Structure 1
């Protein structure tokens, strides 16, 4: 295909090719193997791998009720109030637009300014914490929706400061590796529980007055109000649940086993298409006032739905929510540091951009700034925190090496804004198994936890267990960190007091941890400025003539979710 090679060569030799360091551009840091058409294909692969977030995020966040107010007479069972539920549907439509818009903006900017093939969108796990813990189901959480968005907005600008002074990278590296890994696993189980419930999943489990959880699967109209318990005669007989399990779950996994690109979005679309016809047992558009309203919007197919209810609704008077606001803010900050920073590093390593000496990648500060500003801008649209997506690996595995990959993904998200009626009409049982699948992918990090030493293993397990069992990411993080400090702090004190004579027999198996990280606290540019270097934004001379690390062919087995950590060593600061 000569025209492909010719066009690749023409683009590489243009300003675009030199700016994005395409192979053949003559740029001293050109990325070996990068081609224009390959970047386009990689961008499409990334979009189809993560396009599910548009509907999943909208379904999850709308369960908070957003700015809708549940009438006093319906507080115990807001789902039974048609006016309130119609308002919730409006929130869902707003969030479809907001999710696609902020994903388009941040992904495009990540590619344009940081030149990294990494796409961003509202984060899975973070959106669940935002909805079910901070705001609560139908607003029965810690703080109102508007206050939660204020916490997200402030978090974004705090991230800007942390990024400028290098603290964000330092914090991510300073957290014990076992807690980092356990956080991802715990969030995966948290997503799994959500995917199994009625609110945003297939409805396979529900709560009970005698047991925390029990088998469900009955038709929603047969749930006993207000307990929400399924009667024994109707358990596991809900046809929408079985459609979700087999078409949205089993089929999706089979496609993934055969490495079919876009397997997740294919499963979601299949279940949705089955659920769209009216007058069937699995329809998402019943012949009710709410169903008619939803179907009328769905029939528009292509339209632009403006953000009406969630645009710029932050509330800055937090006097009545000080403690809860602080807890939400700190948890957003901590989880996002782990999630986004870890994903950025792992995707940079996957694409071959990591400098093994500095353990950093070119444009890292700009990448962090794009994410930080994206968080605050997203909150203005009513969205939970934005983060980098591990699904970017789909595009990288297709050969994506430059920012063009992320820019093409961003353009796809922009086009999706105009298909809001389609994305807003995807039922929760179509995305429930997606949450379970994503949870299973996140759970694989458990294999890297140091299970040999109890001081690492027990805090990690506490983190994993407390998150889903308390339905709170915040409580899981607090429990895990406190357990780690108490256990390892006690051992450290005893060891110091006994002059090293009393120590656990297998202390050498503990993962090395210290707050004294290589390179120190401040980023290189601050040190260069402090030493009077006028062009402090440029790297030191010792790196100026160094050959750049080429974007080597990626190996999918080399992906590491956690930020790089020191290898096991005897002894540690704790």
Structure 2
């Protein structure tokens, strides 16, 4: 393992990597419940999608760990699954087989684009100030996801507020606050594995509070994926609707994945001297392979999970972290009742603290140069406000180009950055 993953070179060890991998899994285990629930709206069998979700996460994350050797986990992405079910199937009236075909084609296109370094060029086109802003923005988005999941912040109906304070005196909200304090104390005392231990303690405290429950049985056999396996529909692939669906999936997945890879790598100080993510081409291949395999298994687009930041915060620095997460997803196939204990109130503590860790790169943004600071700031605030990593990147890159042009600093704009900016503008115009 030392020779393969270069643990000492990355200032880590086997124990630290495994704990980091388990921590990542615990913060994203919700996808095993949420993804089948969302895709069931499209008429897919929940049990089959559960199995497809777990297996696709295992395959994609293993490729990330063993091939790219990076500590990032993959699974069917949130937002992408909602687009699959609510827009393509319910909104446009197509079958889930049509949607799975679009996801499959998306994966093949991504393999092609990665092979010819197109996606790598897009990553490299993002200015350094925006890369740092991406890390901060992801931190705020992760914290918001944690707070919302636990009910600490809510979206009031008819109150005129975009967001408000939920019930924090009892139930999930109170448990999450207790978990945040416990985890904060552990981190302050420099306890190894603080996020992981914090979630375990929060789970136990939640039992007498009635928020978490111990499972009545431990093991269960995974449901068959027969009803969704290789369910493709080829008769509509040359239609305008397929083109629109494909473009949207490509755009959402590409920039969500790029944003996650750049943001988490920035926080982990993994960028090289030129500001590039190591093994980025291999990481993007892992993402593309995950999407292609996931479509064959019967699930929506697989992408790199922003919750990977939790494992990085625990010290995960190599592919062994990803391999550990993949093993946990495999075990979840047979021990799914145990993972029902990991509720949003439990993971909130880790996500809020990870949000804190992720904002560190803000210190390195040139705040005195407004052509650098404003694009970074727009990147930061638009991620949580729009609930989208890709939209945050759009605002950052386009504003960067405009500010540099109108202040006479056009030489700072690379051709690649300009091309990406034009694509962003066209996406919204179209």
TM-score normalized by structure 1? 0.58
Whether the 8 Å CA contact 1:155–1:332 is kept in 2: the answer is no
RMSD over aligned CA atoms reads: 4.4
1:217 paired to 2:166: yes
Match of 1:528 in 2: none
Match of 2:257 in 1: 336
Q: Helix, strand or coil for the counterpart of 2:39? A: coil
Match of 1:238 in 2: 170
Match of 2:124 in 1: 173
From 292, 307, 326, the counterpart of 2:247: 326
Structure 1 residues 331 and 413, CA, compared in 2 at 3 Å: closer, same or farther? closer
Match of 1:387 in 2: 304
What is the distance in 2 between the residues matched to 1:427 and 1:179?
33
Q: Which runs of 5+ in 2 are unaligned?
A: 418-430
Number of residues paired by the alignment? 408
Q: Which runs of 5+ in 1 are unaligned?
A: 1-10, 23-30, 71-86, 219-235, 286-294, 493-506, 518-574
Whether the 8 Å CA contact 1:155–1:333 is kept in 2: the answer is no
What is the distance in 2 between the residues matched to 1:145 and 1:182?
39
Q: Helix, strand or coil for the counterpart of 1:68? A: helix
Q: Which has the higher contact order (CA 8 A, sep 6+)?
A: 2
> Per-residue displacement from partner, 1:384-417 (whole Å, max 9, x unpaired)?
433274456468x58x76x666545544443343
Structure 1 residues 345 and 169, CA, compared in 2 at 3 Å: closer, same or farther? farther
What is the distance in 1 between the residues matched to 2:353 and 2:86?
24
Whether the 8 Å CA contact 1:103–1:119 is kept in 2: the answer is no
Structure 1 residues 54 and 337, CA, compared in 2 at 3 Å: closer, same or farther? closer
> Per-residue displacement from partner, 1:34-90 (whole Å, max 9, x unpaired)?
79xx86434423323312144233355456x222369xxxxxxxxxxxxxxxx9xx8
What is the distance in 1 between the residues matched to 2:266 and 2:383?
24
What is the distance in 1 between the residues matched to 2:7 and 2:346?
40
Whether the 8 Å CA contact 1:459–1:484 is kept in 2: the answer is yes
Match of 1:431 in 2: 347
From 275, 278, 286, the counterpart of 1:370: 286
> Per-residue displacement from partner, 1:159-206 (whole Å, max 9, x unpaired)?
322322222322211122233333333333233333233xx3334322
> Per-residue displacement from partner, 1:425-474 (whole Å, max 9, x unpaired)?
43332223433333333333333333222222222222322332233444
What is the distance in 1 between the residues matched to 2:386 and 2:416?
34
From 48, 68, 84, the counterpart of 2:41: 68
From 22, 29, 34, the counterpart of 1:55: 29
The within-5 A match list for 1:206-355 is 206-218=155-167, 236-247=168-179, 249-276=180-207, 282-283=210-211, 298-306=215-223, 317=236, 319-320=240-241, 323=244, 326-340=247-261, 343=264, 349=270
The within-5 A match list for 1:32-181 is 33=8, 40-58=14-32, 60-61=34-35, 65-68=38-41, 91=46, 97-98=51-52, 100-114=54-68, 116=69, 118-122=71-75, 127-130=77-80, 146=96, 152-181=103-132
Structure 1 residues 430 and 182, CA, compared in 2 at 3 Å: closer, same or farther? same
> Per-residue displacement from partner, 1:510-569 (whole Å, max 9, x unpaired)?
99442379xxxxxxxxxxxxxxxxxxxxxxxxxxxxxxxxxxxxxxxxxxxxxxxxxxxx
What is the distance in 2 between the residues matched to 1:358 and 1:209?
45
Computing the radius of gyration over CA atoms, which structure comes out larger, 1 or 2? 1
